[in-house]
Amino acid sequence: MLALVGCGSHSLNRPPVEDRGTVVSSGGAVATPVKPAPGFENAGKPGYYTVKPGDTLIRIGLENGQSHKDISRWNTLENPNKIEVGQVLRVVPPIAEAGAVAGAGAVTKPVSSGAVITSPIATAPTPAKPASAAAVAASAPVKVATAPASGSAGADDDIAWIWPGKGNVIAEFDESKNKGVDISGAAGDPVLAAADGKVVYAGAGLRGYGNLVILKHNNTYLTAYAHNQSLQVKEDQAVKKGQKIAEMGSSDSERVKLHFEVRRQGKPVDPLKYLPPK
């Protein structure tokens, strides 16, 4: 009798079978396992960005010096308006990243000994010393020069900037408070492209900027033009330096002004160090 009771007690207290596919809470309820955010395996790698609360693809593009459309394409996003906190996005072009790795070191290529052909001259034998020097030169490795990338920082820095508005500076650059300069003016005043470029954003989808135009000038520089009352350009449009791209206004601002930013590889820099003196 005691033996049977002991057996029954043992069977009732047997530990449950472990199921690693589910999570059991203290109350006994079965919860769905947490699914890793897309791209989690690339977190922390150079050229990748982890989405934070409040981020949008437009802001991520501005902060990383890229077009939001390019970032969407590089990450094959089905819905660019739907990104999640913790998601890891590529923010550098795949080709540029591969090219940077390939060009990281000097490339040397020895000349094959079979490429040097000597033939004796019947009337004047070749002296031994010059022949030896030629052989040494042929056996020495030859460096293969690589052309600099079109988007190299040195070439990209060679931009002749102009002022985007005719007014005075009413708020200077402050990296923590004001990521550009504010320029005075009247509603409807023309806003000009500070340099040749391409429109990578035109709209009102970035909080705090109102009607905004973002131009990409090369692989290093972006400029942003905010608080406009109307926009005169569309995304993917090429613009020339001095071209009217918007009209000054007070959208998402307490007064009429142009907020102008220069971004170097996504990082805001003081526009007054780039613009010519007035």
Q: What is the pLDDT of residues 107-152, one digit of tens each?
A: 333 333 444 444 444 444 444 444 444 444 444 443 333 333 444 5
What's the token pair of residue 236? 């993917």
Under the banding of pLDDT at 50, 70 and 90, the label for residue 29 is low
Does residue 166 lie within any of the structural domains? yes
Does residue 184 lie within any of the structural domains? yes
- Residue 203, pLDDT > 70, answer yes
Residues of the chain above pLDDT 90, percent: 61
Is 252 in the same domain as 165?
yes
* Distance in angstroms (rounded) separating the CA atoms of residues 267 and 175: 9
Is 269 in the same domain as 170?
yes
pLDDT score of 199: 98
Residues 6+ apart with CB under 8 A from 152: none
What's the token pair of residue 199? 């429109």
pLDDT score of 109: 38
Domain CATH number, residue 190: 2.70.70.10
DSSP letter, residue 220: S
Angle at 266 between CA 173 and CA 100, to 5 degrees: 145
Is 78 in the same domain as 184?
no
230-244 confidence digits (pLDDT tens) = 999 999 999 999 999
The more confidently predicted of residues 7 and 242 is 242
Domain CATH number, residue 57: 3.10.350.10
Is 168 in the same domain as 261?
yes
Task: For CA atoms 89, 94, 97, 98, give the dihedral sign.
Answer: positive
- The neighbouring-strand residues paired with 212 are 203
Other Cβ atoms closer than 10 A to 265: 14
Does residue 259 lie within any of the structural domains? yes
Provide Rg for the chain, Cα atoms: 31
* Distance in angstroms (rounded) separating the CA atoms of residues 274 and 268: 12
- Residue 201, pLDDT > 60, answer yes
Its domain, for residue 65, covers: 40-95
Q: Can you list the positions of beta strands (E) in the chain?
A: 23-24, 30-31, 48-50, 88-90, 108-110, 141-143, 169-171, 181-183, 190-192, 197-203, 211-216, 221-231, 238-239, 244-248, 258-264, 267-269
What's the token pair of residue 156? 């990209």
- Residue 57, pLDDT > 70, answer yes
Is 269 in the same domain as 194?
yes
Under the banding of pLDDT at 50, 70 and 90, the label for residue 154 is confident
Does residue 13 lie within any of the structural domains? no
- The neighbouring-strand residues paired with 202 are 213
Under the banding of pLDDT at 50, 70 and 90, the label for residue 65 is very high
Residue type, 86: G
Does residue 26 lie within any of the structural domains? no
pLDDT score of 36: 87
Nearest Cα neighbor of 193 from 249, 247, 243 is 243
* Distance in angstroms (rounded) separating the CA atoms of residues 83 and 57: 8
Under the banding of pLDDT at 50, 70 and 90, the label for residue 278 is confident
- Residue 10, pLDDT > 70, answer no
b/e map 60-88, b = 16+ CB within 10 Å: bbbbbbbbbbbbbebbebeeeeebeeebb
- Residue 186, pLDDT > 60, answer yes
- Average pLDDT value for residue range 198-213: 96
* Distance in angstroms (rounded) separating the CA atoms of residues 257 and 171: 10
Does residue 47 lie within any of the structural domains? yes
Tell me how many domains the chain contains.
2
pLDDT score of 219: 93
Does residue 266 lie within any of the structural domains? yes
